[in-house]
Amino acid sequence: MSAIDVALRFVDRINARDVDGMVALMSERHRFVDSGGEEHVGRERMRQGWEQYFRMVPDYRVEVDESFAAGSIVVLLGTARGTYSRDGTLRPEDAWSTPAAWRAAISGGCVEEWRVYADNEPIRQRMADGPP
C-alpha cells in the first residue's frame, strides 16, 4: 500500500468508528498530535483516547477533499464534523463542522504520526453551552 492508501484507510476506519481497525494501522510508538499541539504517544493510549472521543462525538467524521504525498508524508485537506453528545443523545443544535488538515507520517505500512490542524472552537462552544 502507498502512503496515501494507508492514510486514507486510517480515515476510513475513523469514519467507521472502528478503533480496532485504527489500532491495527498504528505503529507501536504511534504519536497523535492534537490541534492544540499536545502529543499522545502509544497505540494503547490512543485506543483509549479514540474510544473516549467516539463516546463524546459518536458521529465524528473526516471528509477528505484533497490528498498529497511526498514520500512517507501525507497531507489531507477537508472537513471534520460531528455532534457533541452530553448524554449519548445527538441533538442538531450540538452539531459542528470545521475546516481541517491532517498530516500523517507513514512507516512500514503503519501510521507513525497523525497530526491534526483544525479550529476546535466549534466543538468547544457546543461543550460550553451546557445542557439544553
Output the pLDDT for position 121.
77
Query: For residues 95 and 5, what is the distance between their CA atoms, to the nearest angstrom?
Result: 29
Per the CB < 8 A criterion, the answer to whether 40 and 32 are in contact is yes
Domain ranges of the chain: 3-128
Computed from CA positions of residues 57, 64, 35, 96, in that sequence, does the dihedral angle turn out positive or negative?
negative
Copy the grid coordinates of residue 85. 453528545
Residue 114's CB: how many other CB atoms inside 10 A? 24
d(CA 115, CA 95): 23
> What is the overall mean pLDDT for the chain?
93
pLDDT for 119 equals 84
Assigned C-alpha cell, 51: 474510544
pLDDT in tens, 74-109: 999 999 999 999 888 888 988 999 999 999 999 999
Given this model, what pLDDT does residue 130 score? 61
- Top-level class of domain 3-128: alpha beta
